[in-house]
Amino acid sequence: MLAEPELEFEQLRALLGRYVHTPLGRAELDRITPLSDRAAIEAALADASEAMEHIRARSQPQPASRGAAIRLRFESGADPRPAVARLRIEGATLEPAEIFELTRLLDLAGETRSLLMQARERFPRLANHASAIADLREITASLRGKILPDGSLTDDASVALGKLRRDQEKQRRLIEQSLERFLRAHGEDGTLQEDFVTIRNDRFVVPVVTGRERRVDGVIHGSSGSGHTVFVEPLETIQLNNELVRLHEEELREIHRLLREFTGRLREHAEQIAATAAAMGRLELIFAKAEFGFEFDCAIPRLSPDENRRILLREARHPLLEAILKPKGGRVVPLSLSLDGDQRTLLISGPNTGGKTVALKTAGLLALMAHAGLPVPASEAEFPLFDQVLADIGDHQSLQESLSSFSAHIGAVRSMLERATPDSLVLLDELGRATDPEEGGALGVALLERFRTLGAFTLSSTHLMAMKVYGASTAGVLNGSMGFDETTLEPTYVLRLGAPGQSAGLDIARRLGLDESLIEEARSRMTSSEQDVARFLAEMHQQMAAVEQERAAVKAREQAVEARERSVQRDWERQYSAKIQDVERRAAELSSSFEKRARETIGELSEKAQAKVARTRREFQEAVESLAKPEPEPGETAAHAETRKLKLEEGARVKLRGVKQPAVVRRFLGDGQVEVEAGFLKMRVATADIEEVLPAAATPARKASVGFTQGPRFEDSYREINLIGKHAEEACEQVEKFLDNATLAQVEKVRIIHGHGMGVLKKAVADLLKRSPHVESFYVAPPEEGGGGSTIAVLK
């Protein structure tokens, strides 16, 4: 879609350029043009909308967490596109500055990609653009710090380069020492012009008075501009200088080798680097649109559906006019209008300098902005999908082409008639101007009727009475008027729909200082019908102004009632919130008190249980000892039976409670626990579970090959874990093991302490708990259990 020059789209492009900082972004800005592809327009508008939301989010307080909206950096620098193009040329070597710029670009691109991908849930469209940025962190890490901003390579770019530079510095010191000795030797004999060392042709030399150079054995490397001094390289420093030159040449060869190596690394990823540069340009332009939209208080325009085409503008402002007035403290009077399928033509009349032309330009430029995917300065905007915006605004007379104002006007309108379609927007300023008013009015009516019949949306301005009558009497045509203050005799620049406007030419001429007698003479020459029409329009506008004032008063009263209702609602919500907080506080106190009493009761029960276990253990030991004394067999004395006494010791065979197979005691573990083997099982049991000590078996017990470890007991270590100071990955591994053990121990609720910090550990724990099969639910711990620094998990 071509943008008519009268609508100043190129000036708008320059205004957008304030928010673009890099050559990549400017290249994207140069490609912006109004489109006729609905999908492409809506995608561009959606991108701008999401970028504006990103700016809005980062301007508000937000927790420092993964996915937060953080300002992206689009820093100005050299254009990287030539370097990217040279990467595609096999064998070409990039200059150090080019490699530095590409490395800087990839660093910024990597940062941008990381920030937007982390926030992809909130800003999916921006993340989608960022996904085109290649992950080249490895190559940027290998090149970072090797080249300085001035294009020189650092000493640590390679081991060889560092050594060569150290050797050169050492060689320079040797040369300086040699020359200092030379200066001391000839300081008093008048040979030297001055007592200093300089450089000529990359070699260290001393200044010698012209005519005395024969006193010095060496090589002359030139003379001063005055001819009074010659620069001599003493013989004793020639070899030292030769060595310095050799080292410098080796340095240059090493630098060239490094540049070829660095270029080769980048060339391996040439296509990815090109895609990354393009993505950075697109993202910069998207955020430039958003910055413009944010600063000019813009809305994202809508495209109306094809079956319900309409133009809707609420509080629209011309961006170029606002850019001029805003720094001076001025204000643009906003424009509001609405056209649809039933009313596609708007005819605007009113006083000179009243804003008619600005209204046409505003509607036309905002339509172009919407079709270019740009936010528009308005509170709400909607346009149909136009195939072109046609405009005849201003005076096109040309002395060179022998065109009068009327000729130029008719030529422009004829071209518009040839090009217009039902999907066009037509803008006509002062239609029928520059000719006889009666003929101009008739011609204007005919032209408007042709555009109306065609079905195009048309906005036109006029002073001609015939066109005002046409607008009031023709279906599908809407009259509009620019406001005029009868008291101050000045235009108000407010567009009112529904009635034509008065031109007020004589009143404005009076305000501009024209002689009063001339004004009165002009009025007397007006026909009675013209005076009646002017008087009628003036009275109608006074009535409309009164209606507008009454409407504004009603609206103000409605807003006051709504404000009072909101105030009452806020007061009620505050009171309700206070009651809820009080209930929660009392519940927390009761919960804390209950848990304290529960812990005390559990402690008492635990002490009683431990005493009972100790008593049972003693009773068991006594029972075992009594069982270990066998009854005398027939004919056997009690003393002989005593010698067969069976003891509970390592290697003894025992019968366990609930286990049919005999077991063998392997070792005593202390605290009433023994380790036994029963067939293939090795287990740990309490001595209280041993019912009987059995006689030794005829064959030795088979060594067990299967071990058994007792499950976890219900201890504090299975109800709480402290992760403070740990990395997220390490913490998640510990939490998974902790949940496994807590589940086996049949714990119902656990507490996970992660602290506050930046919220990274807390989010990682929450993500793990969401997918854990052991967790029924989880929530932030109440204040008495750690508050936001802890999470309570309820297990299944």
pLDDT for residue 639: 45
- In the predicted structure, residue 711 carries a pLDDT above the cut 60: no
């640590």: which residue's tokens?
156
* Residues 674-690: tens digit of each pLDDT: 888 876 667 788 888 88
Higher pLDDT, 444 or 286: 286
* Residues 119-148: tens digit of each pLDDT: 899 999 999 999 999 999 899 999 988 999
pLDDT for residue 481: 85
How far apart, in whole angstroms, are the C-alpha atoms of residue 356 and residue 338? 16
pLDDT for residue 169: 92
The pairs formed by 772-779 with CB atoms below 8 angstroms and a separation of 24 or more are: 772/736, 772/739, 774/739, 774/740, 774/742, 774/743, 775/739
Structure tokens at 304: 């109306």
Lowest-pLDDT range of 97-111, 167-181, 547-561: 547-561
Mean pLDDT of 36-48: 96
Q: Which amino acid is at 55?
A: I
The pairs formed by 321-326 with CB atoms below 8 angstroms and a separation of 24 or more are: 321/358, 322/296, 322/377, 323/15
Lowest-pLDDT range of 213-222, 407-416, 443-452, 462-471: 213-222
Higher pLDDT, 65 or 496: 496
R_g of the chain, CA atoms, integer Å: 47
Structure tokens at 789: 């620094």
pLDDT for residue 224: 80
Higher pLDDT, 599 or 386: 386
Q: Which amino acid is at 135?
A: D
100 confidence band (pLDDT: 50, 70, 90): very high
pLDDT for residue 795: 87
What Å distances lie between residue 20 and 11, 73, 280, CA to CA? 15, 11, 12
How far apart, in whole angstroms, are the C-alpha atoms of residue 372 and residue 370? 5
Closest CA to 395 of 381, 410, 384, 380: 410
Higher pLDDT, 578 or 320: 320
How far apart, in whole angstroms, are the C-alpha atoms of residue 745 and residue 739? 10
Instruction: Provide the b/e sequence for 227-243 (b: ≥16 CB within 10 Å).
Output: eebbbbbbeebeebbee
Mean pLDDT of 739-752: 81
pLDDT for residue 455: 93
- With pLDDT > 90 as the criterion, what percentage of the chain qualifies? 36
Q: How far is CA 415 from the centre of its chain?
A: 46
Mean pLDDT of 322-326: 92
* Residues 595-610: tens digit of each pLDDT: 787 777 777 777 777 7
pLDDT for residue 707: 46
Higher pLDDT, 44 or 634: 44
Neighbours of 341 (CB within 10 A): 14
Is 513 within 8 Å of 477 (Cβ atoms)? no
Q: Which 3-state string (H, E, C) describes 275-319?
A: HHHHHHHHHHHHHHHHHHHHHCCCECCEECCHHHCCEEEEEECCH
- With pLDDT > 70 as the criterion, what percentage of the chain qualifies? 83
335 confidence band (pLDDT: 50, 70, 90): very high
pLDDT for residue 486: 61
pLDDT for residue 704: 42
- In the predicted structure, residue 703 carries a pLDDT above the cut 50: no
Mean pLDDT of 204-230: 79
First CA to last CA across the chain, in angstroms?
63
